[in-house]
Structure 1
Amino acid sequence: MNTANLQLEGLLLATAALFGELKRKGQLDSSQIEAALDRADQGASARATELSDANQEAIRFPIRFLRQALRDDAGPLDYSTIAADIGRSLDLRANRSPGK
């Protein structure tokens, strides 16, 4: 595996843990965290026309990861499990699309 991928994995886990701690301490609530992730998603959407579908998904993956990791019922921070959940949700979404 590419070292950069491992570094991003660690960064996502650390960010999720920090957001979780801020939420537990009452510094940020779920709606504030969700609003911040919405802003990030909007930034990704702004580049959508210049990127392939795969690259758009790559940009959105960290946002989706943090959303999934910070869900109240998400359980422990396990990168492989969270990533697999995201993949399954994308598969479900693709199967429900009108063109399928």
Structure 2
Amino acid sequence: MNTANPQLEGLYLALAAMNRLMVEKQLLTHEEIHETLAETEAAVMKNSALDGQSDSHRKAVAFPIRLLMTANEAAERGGEPTFEDLARQVGRTS
């Protein structure tokens, strides 16, 4: 991620922490979080394609969703990777 966006890094990590907390408090499961994020990603990709957005634009919009999905998967395994680790993983799978 562009180093000009440290606020966004913090926001993504805060959202990942909130997701972990909701699982810990048994408000949601990792699976429910994954399903919701996957549905959101699919909608973004579909709607952006219909609106004529470029592939790079769709990927940029989907990045935070994919990052949160990756963080959720890591949390389910008991991990808490850094932002850089999460971004690297998203980059490999996008």
Alpha-carbon offset, residue 38 of structure 1? 2.5
Which residue number corresponds to residue 48 of structure 1? 49
Which residue number corresponds to residue 98 of structure 1? none
RMSD of equivalent CA atoms? 1.5
Runs of 4 or more, structure 1, over 4 Å off, are none
Alpha-carbon offset, residue 19 of structure 1? 0.4
Q: Which aligned pairs between 1:29-40 and structure 2 lie closer than 5 A?
A: 29-40=29-40
Q: Which runs of 5+ in 2 are unaligned?
A: none
C-alpha distance 53-63 of structure 1, shift in aligned 2 (>3 A): same
Q: Deviations over 1:11-51 (max 9, x none)?
A: 10000000011011111012221222123213312122321
Aligned length: 88
Q: Percent identity?
A: 32
* Mapped contact 1:64–1:86 kept (Cα < 8 A): yes
Q: Deviations over 1:37-71 (max 9, x none)?
A: 12321331212232111111001111110010011
